[in-house]
Amino acid sequence: MHTQVAIIGAGPAGLLLSHLLHLRGIGSVVLERRSRAYVEQRVRAGVLEQGTVDTLVESGVGERLLREGLPHRGIELRYGGAGHRIPFEKLVPGRTITVYGQQEVVKDLIAARLAAGGDVRFEVDDVALHDIATDRPYVTFGGLRLDCDVIAGCDGFHGVSRPSIPAGALTEFHRDYPFAWLGILARVRPSSEELIYARNERGFALHSMRTPQISRFYLQVPPDDDVAAWPDERVWAELKARLETVPGFTLATGEILEKSVTPMRSFVAEPMRHGRLFLAGDAAHIVPPTGAKGLNLAVADVRVLTRALARFFADGSTALLDGYSDACLQRVWRAQHFSWWMTTLLHTFESDDAYGGRLQTSYLDYVTSSEAAATTLAENYVGLPYEEER
């Protein structure tokens, strides 16, 4: 078999890349080790930047997103017994966020690829990458061989793509945080129209949502915490303790559908390519979810890679491919800083003394009282314009 681009991973990065390449007449095969049902039901991020929404709509896969997504024109920072709204519509006119689950984006992309006759293969075993430093790379899987011109590694932090790069060819930057997030999905109407980021002496909490009937919550917990230690009664009691800190706010409760513990880490691999293998999304970088940047960074990577591949297949020029990593990493490191900043601003650190806590409060006071500081938060949260838009 032969294709122009072999794509490893059927998450948002891999599927969107395949879709955008198809629109430009470039062939691809997507290989995914999980089942279709698994990837369509896997609950992940749900906050889409303005640029991500625009990309999906402009590429023809945004109909359901526009119909069912929940646009948000601000967020609330809650601390010290008061809530403080960051108004996107005032600070960054024309740019906002939309709440629409990652699994819904995946469903839309799979439907679009299959409707167009795309080759997306699920439950693929024994994927291995070969000759990636040459101009004739290939992929083997399930006893088959797929020759290609380029391989796109879109298979996440634990995938096979990045480990296929020879030792020493990448520089890896790591930061692990001394806490995790307990994620809760509940069948209950949201108690707020917008996301609430709550700093509390008991630990951070986030009130989010997926639909008008489904809410999403996160609690800061120890990094080695076990889901079994969090029966429903304890979950709701802790959420109430951390969120019901302003007058008049009552947290609605209901049936809990899912619980999971997610470690908090930052990671970047440089460069984001080796020979004809190009990494995108979580295969190349991880951010703590506080800044809601993971899925959005993957979309930004794919946009850059699509333009570079379109140029390469049109006239053989490698100029944009050679600049792929540098172009992506500029945005990646900006998102890394923003995510680190949001995380350190809002979480409780065991190592902090009273001095550290006062510093957090001081900066929160600054962000919520200074239009300049609030604008910095807002423009990073809704997503900086893509390079070609500046």
Which residues constitute the domain of residue 143?
Answer: 2-72+96-174+266-348
The share of the chain scoring above pLDDT 70, in percent, equals 99
- pLDDT at 354 (0 to 100): 82
Q: By 3-state DSSP, what share of the chain in percent is helix, strand and coil, each rounded to 5?
A: 40, 25, 35
Q: CA-CA distance, 58 to 62, in Å (whole number)?
A: 8
Cβ–Cβ contacts within 10 Å for residue 73, how many? 17
Q: Does 354 map to a domain?
A: no
Q: CA-CA distance, 290 to 208, in Å (whole number)?
A: 12
- pLDDT at 12 (0 to 100): 96
Q: Does 306 map to a domain?
A: yes
Q: How far is the CA of 184 from the CAs of 24, 256, 288, 370, in angstroms?
A: 40, 7, 17, 33
Helical ranges in 75-199 per DSSP H: 88-91, 102-115
Q: Distance from first CA to last CA of the chain, Å, rounded?
A: 41
- pLDDT at 42 (0 to 100): 82
Mean pLDDT of 24-45: 93
| Whether residue 60 has pLDDT greater than 70 | yes
For residue 352, what pLDDT band results from cuts at 50, 70 and 90? low
Domain total of the chain: 1
Q: CA-CA distance, 374 to 349, in Å (whole number)?
A: 24
Cβ–Cβ contacts within 10 Å for residue 237, how many? 12
Instruction: Name, in order, each residue with C-beta under 8 angstroms of 48's C-beta and a sequence gap of 6 or more.
Output: 56, 65, 69, 97, 98, 99, 100, 105, 295, 296
Say which residue the tokens 């690829």 belong to: 113
Residues catalogued as catalytic: 72, 197, 289, 293, 381
| Whether residue 353 has pLDDT greater than 80 | no
Instruction: Name, in order, each residue with C-beta under 8 angstroms of 325's C-beta and a sequence gap of 6 or more.
Output: 270, 271, 272, 273
Considering just the CA atoms, what is the radius of gyration of the chain in Å? Answer: 21
Asked if residue 201 lies in contact with residue 302, where contact means CB atoms within 8 angstroms, the answer is no
pTM for the structure as a whole: 0.95
Return the DSSP state at 93.
Answer: T
- pLDDT at 144 (0 to 100): 97
Q: CA-CA distance, 206 to 215, in Å (whole number)?
A: 11
Tens digit of pLDDT for each residue in 231-269?
A: 999 999 999 999 999 999 999 999 999 999 999 999 999
Q: Does 357 map to a domain?
A: no
Strand (E) positions, the chain?
2-8, 28-31, 47-48, 70-72, 74-79, 82-87, 97-99, 119-121, 128-130, 138-141, 144-153, 171-187, 196-198, 205-209, 215-221, 255-270, 273-274, 277-279, 285-286
For residue 158, what pLDDT band results from cuts at 50, 70 and 90? very high
Cβ–Cβ contacts within 10 Å for residue 260, how many? 12
Q: Report the CATH number that the domain containing residue 118 is assigned in CATH.
A: 3.50.50.60
| Whether residue 51 has pLDDT greater than 90 | yes
Among 36-50, 133-147, 346-360, the range scoring the smallest mean pLDDT is 346-360
| Whether residue 389 has pLDDT greater than 60 | no
Q: Does 230 map to a domain?
A: no
What average pLDDT is seen over the chain?
96
Rounded-to-10 torsion of CA 6, 8, 13, 15: 70
- pLDDT at 390 (0 to 100): 47
Tens digit of pLDDT for each residue in 67-116?
A: 999 999 999 999 999 999 999 999 999 999 999 999 999 999 999 999 99
Q: Does 202 map to a domain?
A: no
**Residue 151 in 3-state DSSP?**
strand
Tens digit of pLDDT for each residue in 102-119?
A: 999 999 999 999 999 999
Cβ–Cβ contacts within 10 Å for residue 232, how many? 14
Asked if residue 215 lies in contact with residue 203, where contact means CB atoms within 8 angstroms, the answer is no
Q: Does 154 map to a domain?
A: yes
For residue 356, what pLDDT band results from cuts at 50, 70 and 90? confident
Q: Does 214 map to a domain?
A: no
For residue 301, what pLDDT band results from cuts at 50, 70 and 90? very high
